[in-house]
Amino acid sequence: MEVFSFFDNFAIYFNLNIIATMKKVLVSICMVSAVLVMSSCRTVEKAVSLSSISGEWNIVEVNGAKVVSGENRTAPFIGFDTTEGRVHGSSGCNRMMGSFDVNSTPGTLEFKGMGSTRMMCPDMTTENNVLNALAQVKSYQKAGKNKMYLCNASKRPVMMLEKKAADPGLSSLNGEWLIQKVHGEAIPTGMEKQPFIKFNVKDKTIHGCAGCNLMNGGFVTSVENAEAISFPAVMSTMMACPDMEVEGKVMKALNEVQSFKVQADGTLALYDASNGVALSLKKK
């Protein structure tokens, strides 16, 4: 019995030591990981050129916390025009714009003259966090091809960005789209003249129906922002219908459009200046 007890106790002692050792290893790994994250901007590698950050990037983390975009709002992103030294994007509620020095030392980055629209949203937490973090940025550090950190004066990451996936661009707008919603309100089904917009991307023109009258006109885009679009000169026929309410809402919303995005489900969202979905459309 004593021999058995000795080996039994030895096995327990041995197992406890293994568990204790494993715990120490896990703690060490966690500490190393934390140090690596915190030192993302302290790398001694040669800084990449400013041109490598050109384009649009999704803002996925702010001060280590994952960003969650609000319903019917554009996910926060930032776009860099490294030729003109301009920056644009969305902070989660409002559009933002500003500039930066294209002649600065590679790896350094500081935003100047940042401004934004003044729309109030139900929850401004993400918006405030994004803007506060951008105000602290002094440098950038690429982390592979599609990830980048923006860091403060202490070389601590205040924002993590991921490169936006390639956008199909304006060509994805070609064809006829049924207008399903205006500012989130569903278009009544069974209308005699269902509202629609038909895009001719080559000529940058549109044709359609607002619910009663036919409409025709053009649209304007921007080389600096691939998602920018507006309809400054849309005209319609002057026929009077028994119910002009839908028509009025469609025309008003179309006049407010500032950007577009083809969603993952294939629907088209046309956004107003506050990044609210002004019109929701589905390909016919």
| 196-237 pLDDT, tens digit each | 999 998 888 999 999 999 999 998 887 667 889 999 889 999
Report the distance separating Cα 65 and Cα 59, nearest Å.
Answer: 11
How much is the pLDDT for 209?
A: 96
How much is the pLDDT for 120?
A: 82
Report the distance separating Cα 173 and Cα 177, nearest Å.
Answer: 9
pLDDT-above-70 percentage for the chain: 80
Answer for the pair 224, 235: CB distance below 8 angstroms, yes or no. no
Q: Where are the domains of the chain?
A: 50-163, 170-283
> Same topology for domains 50-163 and 170-283, yes or no?
yes
Residue 260 has pLDDT above 90, yes or no: yes
pLDDT-above-90 percentage for the chain: 48
Residue 136 has pLDDT above 70, yes or no: yes
How much is the pLDDT for 220?
A: 87
Average pLDDT in the 95-120 region? 90
Average pLDDT in the 167-180 region? 88
How much is the pLDDT for 167?
A: 59
Token pair recorded at residue 27: 């703690």
In a 13 Å sphere around the CA of 273, the CA atoms on its Cβ side amount to 9
SS3 call for 195: coil
Residue 113 has pLDDT above 60, yes or no: yes
Q: How confident is the model at residue 156 (pLDDT cuts 50, 70, 90)?
A: very high
The third-level CATH classification (topology) of the domain covering 50-163 is: Lipocalin (2.40.128)
Q: How confident is the model at residue 12 (pLDDT cuts 50, 70, 90)?
A: very low
CATH of region 170-283, choose from 3.30.10.20, 2.40.128.270, 3.40.630.10, 2.40.340.10: 2.40.128.270
Where on the phi/psi map is residue 89: left (φ > 0), alpha (ψ -120 to 50), or beta? left
How much is the pLDDT for 112?
A: 94
